[in-house]
Structure 1
Amino acid sequence: MSQQFGEMPDKAGYFGEYGGQIIPPELKVAMDKISDAYETVRQTRAFQDELQELYTHYVGRPSPIYFAKKLTERQGGARIFIKREDLNHTGAHKINHCLGQALLAKFMGKTKVIAETGAGQHGVAMATACALVGLPCEIHMGVIDIEKEHPNVTKMKILGATLIPVTRGTQTLKDAVDSAFDEYVKDPDNFLYAIGSAVGPHPFPKMVRDFQMIIGKESREQFLAREKKLPDMIVACVGGGSNSIGMFTEFLPDESVRLVGVEPAGKGLDTPDNAATMTLGTKGTLHGYKCYALQDKDGNTLPVYSIASGLDYPGVGPQHCYLKDMGRVQYESATDQECLDAFITLSRVEGIIPALESAHAVAYAMRAAKELGKDKTILVNLSGRGDKDADFVADYLNL
């Protein structure tokens, strides 16, 4: 990786002007301890071997790359390939960083892991990882998301996690983050707040990215072996941005590869019902770090919306913000309707039911394929499967 992209973040946790630790001094001490512990343990052979062993024999890595022949024929134009993170144990990419954070918590001697979740994928993965390492796990989740993502709620309870329903604010992901953080600050010496995306104060954006980079590393090797070249375009959904930064980072130095992050336009960019942070947001501070955020002119965080609970967040990871300003990653959006169309199309054409979050990326790939020539290739990161969304979509569409 070139030095331009390889030195992110700096020692203070900044990606350019984004990131950092915009937190009280006592919390900075706690974050620095986590950072020091992470830097220590990640360089040990025992940690690396244990994590790789779990990725291979527990998660089922490497996840395959699948050529979506029928979808390609339907759309015309570029050939569409799919990175099948939906086949991971627990059904999404989240398990990649949850295992790493659970092992870190065990290494640090923590007595409880606290996490937030929107769509429930991070909650299930964190509950799974904690069950594996033998640590109590507490998951904070907005009551709207609890009702919407009931299958994942059931899984978390079966795995032994304590579920904390969040009734404040919009009762969705942003408020779940606030609730989890409030619990964490009660005892940061003994608790670990395992953040569910590449967001929050340093070292979490770096740490989550590092664990998720396995997606891009596998993809490079697999695609080169199959096609003898790199993909022309890589597409991934962006909420907080963990699956996308995990995929993109390996390809940042490859200027021939067009990187596209797809965020939720919701009911339309011309309405308040969206979570298109990169498209409509301004520079601000959220949850202890600097990023683009959806906020009013006074800097107050705006309520956001997406049909995909895991993308329903008013900020975005600091590395994404930096890459937007650099122009290295192109950030687009897809509406609820485009997402639902992609959800049904992929299900019925390829027999793959995607998570609503991932369906945003599929929607953009379907759109882009028609614009690109047949000699071009698109690789979509299918970050999760749609088991959790099946009942909701069926009711929503009256299927």
Structure 2
Amino acid sequence: MKDQFFGRFGGSFIPEILYNSQQQLIDAYESAMSDAEFVGRLKSEWQHYSGRPTPLTFCNNLTQQIGGAQIYLKREDLNHSGAHKMNNVIGQGLLTQYMGKTRVIAETGAGQHGIATALISARLGLKCTIYMGATDIKRQYPNVFWMKQLGAEVIPVTTGSATLKDALDEAMRDWAANYDDTHYLIGTSCGCAPFPEMVAGFQSIIGEEVKEQSINQIGKHPDRIYACVGGGSNACGIFLPFVDSSSTELVGVEAGGRSDAPGDHAKRFNTDQARFGIAQGYATRFLQDSEGQLMPTHSISAGLDYVGVSPILADLEENGKVRMISANDDEVMTAFSQLMRNEGIIPALESAHAVAGGLREAKSMSPEQSIVINLSGRGDKDIFNVAKVMKDEPFSAFLNDFLLEAN
């Protein structure tokens, strides 16, 4: 695993100053995962702190409305902090202690990874610094508020597009300067080795649970599994345990954004604007201009507008193991409302992409077939964006009155 590649993707393209820290992390991860005491504590924290296993919920009303396949949701929104992110941060937080380090840094887009990192840092007594794009801070300030209350230092990143890509760049710089006592707790299955495999490994508890739950509840494994794809941690988590299954198709749903024009979406597949490249410590498919410069992205959801994608998913797609589709902003809002109104579940806007893709295709399937949609997070954090899109004037008036009273 020293310089792990997934086909032609992955690897380690890092400055020499990070080499020793990276090798230490690789060795520590391999050692920890073969240590029964570490694995036992990991499983205990997943259960008693985060609330695993999360349920597999049948959507009877949506199934009847769509009229095709039986629709199930894997409820990662019911994890502590409201997203799948807790699976990974518990693992890496414990690994930080295992290495004897006292500080973690992290990058975040939608804020869910940031708040999860702040939570586990408070629980384990670790110093915590979060890098977040200034644009994303405006979109997701409730999460920023709670990160600060938990004791984390939140640093706004104003360079570039001031989103997830730029936050990741700043976190890498911090790690290079402070690697002696600091672990970079990366939030998605990207970056140099061992991050892609490590994050995907911690997240694979999602798919392992679905394997058992689907047999118990459906009587077989699902015919298709859908997951939204930004960096790719929730998709890797639910897909990887099914990669060798001949009976389950794996479908990733990217951010189609406003249009197919450059800068209007975050699609790394099914577009001629993305191709093989090396950046941020690893090789994968990046959105790039004609000179190889990373391009701006857009998504209605702050967590899916990353310019690259997990090298694991890039390899699986290239080898026909995963099919990639996309959902545009309008489709996402429609799916968001459908799930709320029919099932009483409020999804994160990221997860609503998977819902949109799953509902679109479920209608052409038979009632004997079943799909599982990975509901990777809940929508509390998106209230401001959703209210703005839905033009909810009473909510805008409420915010104005609140600000006037506060001043």
What TM-score, normalized by structure 1, do the two folds share?
0.96
Residue in structure 2 matched with residue 30 of structure 1 by the alignment: 21
**What residue identity is the alignment partner of 1:143?**
A
The whole-number CA distance in structure 2 between the counterparts of 1:11 and 1:144 is 36
Which piece of structure 1 moves more, 363-372 or 269-278? 269-278
1:388 lines up with 2:381 in the alignment: yes
Q: Give the alignment partner of residue 171 of structure 2, picking from 171, 180, 189.
A: 180
Which piece of structure 1 moves more, 114-123 or 185-194? 185-194
**What residue identity is the alignment partner of 2:157?**
V
Residue in structure 1 matched with residue 320 of structure 2 by the alignment: 327
Residue in structure 2 matched with residue 113 of structure 1 by the alignment: 104
Q: Give the alignment partner of residue 367 of structure 2, picking from 354, 366, 374.
A: 374
1:92-144 CA deviation, whole Å, 9 max, x = no partner?
A: 00000001111111111112100000000000101011111100000011111
1:304 lines up with 2:297 in the alignment: yes
For structure 2, the residue ranges without an aligned partner over 5 or more in a row are 393-407
Residue in structure 2 matched with residue 139 of structure 1 by the alignment: 130
1:1-399 matches, cutoff 5 A: 11-280=2-271, 281-399=274-392
Q: Secondary structure at the match of 2:28?
A: helix
**Deviation of residue 224 (structure 1)?**
0.5
Q: Secondary structure at the match of 1:311?
A: coil
1:378-399 CA deviation, whole Å, 9 max, x = no partner?
A: 1000000000002220122113
**Deviation of residue 28 (structure 1)?**
2.1
CA contact (8 A) 2:331 2:356 kept: yes
The whole-number CA distance in structure 1 between the counterparts of 2:16 and 2:166 is 23
**Deviation of residue 271 (structure 1)?**
4.9
**Deviation of residue 272 (structure 1)?**
3.1
Kindly tell me the number of residue pairs found equivalent between the two proteins: 390
**Deviation of residue 25 (structure 1)?**
2.2
**Identity across aligned pairs (percent)?**
48
Alpha-carbon RMSD across the aligned residues, in angstroms, is 1.0
1:6-47 CA deviation, whole Å, 9 max, x = no partner?
A: xxxx54210011000011222122211100011111111111
**What residue identity is the alignment partner of 1:251?**
F
CA contact (8 A) 2:227 2:374 kept: yes
CA contact (8 A) 1:275 1:313 kept: yes
Q: Secondary structure at the match of 1:105?
A: helix
The whole-number CA distance in structure 2 between the counterparts of 1:166 and 1:327 is 37
CA contact (8 A) 1:21 1:28 kept: no
The whole-number CA distance in structure 2 between the counterparts of 1:329 and 1:306 is 22
CA contact (8 A) 1:119 1:149 kept: yes
Q: Secondary structure at the match of 1:304?
A: coil
1:337-384 CA deviation, whole Å, 9 max, x = no partner?
A: 111111111111111000000000000011011111111111000000
What TM-score, normalized by structure 2, do the two folds share?
0.94
The whole-number CA distance in structure 1 between the counterparts of 2:2 and 2:159 is 35
The whole-number CA distance in structure 2 between the counterparts of 1:72 and 1:11 is 46
**What residue identity is the alignment partner of 2:296?**
P
For structure 1, the residue ranges without an aligned partner over 5 or more in a row are 1-9
Residue in structure 1 matched with residue 398 of structure 2 by the alignment: none
**What residue identity is the alignment partner of 1:349?**
N
**Deviation of residue 279 (structure 1)?**
2.3
Q: Secondary structure at the match of 1:57?
A: helix
CA contact (8 A) 2:2 2:23 kept: no
CA contact (8 A) 2:262 2:296 kept: no
Q: Secondary structure at the match of 1:309?
A: coil
The whole-number CA distance in structure 1 between the counterparts of 2:364 and 2:101 is 51
The whole-number CA distance in structure 2 between the counterparts of 1:204 and 1:226 is 33
The whole-number CA distance in structure 2 between the counterparts of 1:144 and 1:345 is 28
CA contact (8 A) 2:336 2:349 kept: yes
The whole-number CA distance in structure 2 between the counterparts of 1:270 and 1:257 is 33
Q: Secondary structure at the match of 2:251?
A: strand
Q: Secondary structure at the match of 1:393?
A: helix
**Deviation of residue 183 (structure 1)?**
1.3
The whole-number CA distance in structure 2 between the counterparts of 1:184 and 1:24 is 11
**What residue identity is the alignment partner of 1:203?**
P
**Deviation of residue 157 (structure 1)?**
1.1
